[in-house]
A and B are shown apart, each in its own frame.
Chain A
């Protein structure tokens, strides 16, 4: 047999049909559904009299619209259109008989946090969701990617996707990370190196010592932003940490089935002499805590740097950088650490897991947020929230002046009431710094949870290493 990458192996295991031109029907093991990108798909099924082919493999949870404040069971907390969208998911889940975690369930949370937490996501699976950050699940060595609503309908009806194979890219992070440098800094540094279109047409496998050293939470952070680099998916080969994380989760296999699964999972790695269409290597010890200055996730610089001059870029990026710097209200040459922050958001499918909250709480402990600062922590799921309360993290945040919220996507995309006002500047642990992403004319700097916590204390972008 010819050598294969991890992606090749998962792909080959899931091809249900291949046409002569190479167009494949890829079988989907898990389909995650949320309220924003699914109503039109369910409506399509109704109009054509189609059913959900595999309801037992379909899991739904409302996350994008839901308020994160207490009393959210009260529908008055939502706008009319949000209420309709969440109600539609309630109804569709019931009508089509799919697994469902309603807002009232403690297991509710961001779909990409709930999936792994409940053991729905397992190594070697194909996982899709009508959400680009489905890439998150790649941390388990699952082929996971976002799809549009028409494809959601296609998967609901047929449990397959029409696909052509992507190319293989290896992103290796060698060596050890320095203190203060996290999974978020790795994933942003990779996008900074490749650009937001650098991964287009590829599935990325992240590997190397620095990746192996990451926890499952960290690996999810890295894979989560594969899409920001343009890749279809990001993958990390499963290892002992993966098996340990999965074991005992509600929907993970048990007993003999677990052993059988484990035997197969251990074959899920890229062969030594597998072919890579593109290889990128970064040295882990050279990665610094980073921050974005512009309105694209590729606008990444070490926290010690200064705002760039647009003229230093090439091609279309010159105009784009001018526009970004104007939008962000910055001046070329300004030190990044001199940028004042109004708001800190800790949460999202990128950084809303327990380890992220621990990292932020470590910095915050015994301190107060800067006067006038608005700071919020939005745990990624009800269970993350509960665990953080049990570990005393919630109290640390509350004592420091943070708002301690209920689970949801919240200010990552500001579909719920958590939004930036025009001109408001946020240090955010989320994944996109696009214009208007966190609110009309809002200004976003993407950072790690520790860096966000540091900014909340000092009131400006801060090198977290100075606070450790």
Chain B
């Protein structure tokens, strides 16, 4: 997993609320057995018509947002299924951070496993950054994970909260499984105790 420390990038505005994982990556692309290569299908049904032609007014098809690395999105982003194909598709497209007033739980967790930083900010702050993103490629938003700050292109700053462990893993690009395996003896001990208490499990 790539580290996430600082990012200065173009942000694409997606003010729609309840952007679900079926929108982010429709089910026909879940048949892959790989993690890579899903960026071309990101937001497929919003981005392309049935003939595969780009829909001009979809935000990521506009010239100024083709290189976007950040999404500023409406409330409850990533609701719906547990498919990790959603963050895989975002990452493969080049998106490293999503800013919203709220995220669906499973999607939020999935982002951290893939080096994507989901940032929760109050609605007023999201509104300011949405306006900023609407300025296009001249407005670069800066994200500093270490200091937990988002800076708009006008220099306005917004601090955000993040779980300390998740931050640590993201800053260092750490593999969760390796970390957990270091606690193998605790799991062994728990398993022995649980097997005695609840042998039917």
Contact = CB atoms under 8 A, between A and B. Distances in A.
Interface of A: 13-14, 16-17, 19, 21, 23, 25, 27, 29, 36-37, 39-40, 43-44, 48, 50, 53, 57, 64-65, 79, 81-82, 84-85, 88, 122, 124-125, 130-132, 145-151, 153-154, 157-160, 162, 164, 196-197, 200-201, 227, 230-232, 252-253, 257-258, 260-261, 264, 296, 298, 315-317, 319-320, 323, 413-415, 422, 432, 434-437, 440
B133 to A, nearest CB: 15
Contacts, number: 196
B181 A27 contact: no
Given A132-B106, A146-B82, 20 more contacts: A21-B165, A25-B180, A25-B183, A37-B82, A82-B31, A132-B80, A149-B35, A153-B177, A158-B181, A196-B18, A197-B76, A197-B104, A200-B103, A200-B104, A315-B75, A317-B17, A319-B16, A413-B81, A432-B20, A434-B80
Interface residues of B, number: 57
B108 to A, nearest CB: 9
Interface string B156-180: 0000000111000000000011001
Contacts of A227: 106
B200 A260 contact: yes
B27 interface: yes
Nearest to B19: A320
B102 interface: yes
Interface string B102-134: 111110011001100000000100000000000
A253 B20 CA distance: 40
Given A81-B31, A148-B106, A154-B176, A436 B45 contact: yes
Contact of B191 (A27, A149, A253): A27
Given A21-B165, A125-B201, A320-B18, A201 B105 contact: yes
Contact of B105 (A29, A200, A415): A200
B198 A264 contact: yes
Interface string B1-44: 00000000000000111101011001110111111000000000
A19 B163 CA distance: 13
Contacts of A264: 198
A148 to B, nearest CB: 4
Contacts of B79: 196-197, 230, 296
A149 B32 CA distance: 13
A27 B17 contact: no
Nearest to A23: B165
Contact of A434 (B20, B83, B110, B191): B20
B106 to A, nearest CB: 5
A129 B200 CA distance: 20
Contacts of A437: 22, 27
B53 interface: no
B107 to A, nearest CB: 8
22 contacts: A14-B194, A25-B183, A25-B187, A39-B33, A40-B33, A40-B34, A82-B31, A85-B33, A131-B82, A146-B82, A147-B82, A147-B106, A148-B106, A149-B35, A150-B84, A150-B114, A200-B105, A227-B106, A258-B200, A320-B16, A413-B81, A434-B22
Contact of A415 (B18, B31, B35): B31
B22 A435 contact: yes
Contacts of B184: 158
A22 to B, nearest CB: 9
A204 to B, nearest CB: 12
Contact of A65 (B22, B31, B104): B31
A29 B194 CA distance: 10
B33 A132 contact: no
Contact of A150 (B18, B110, B165): B110
B31 A316 contact: no
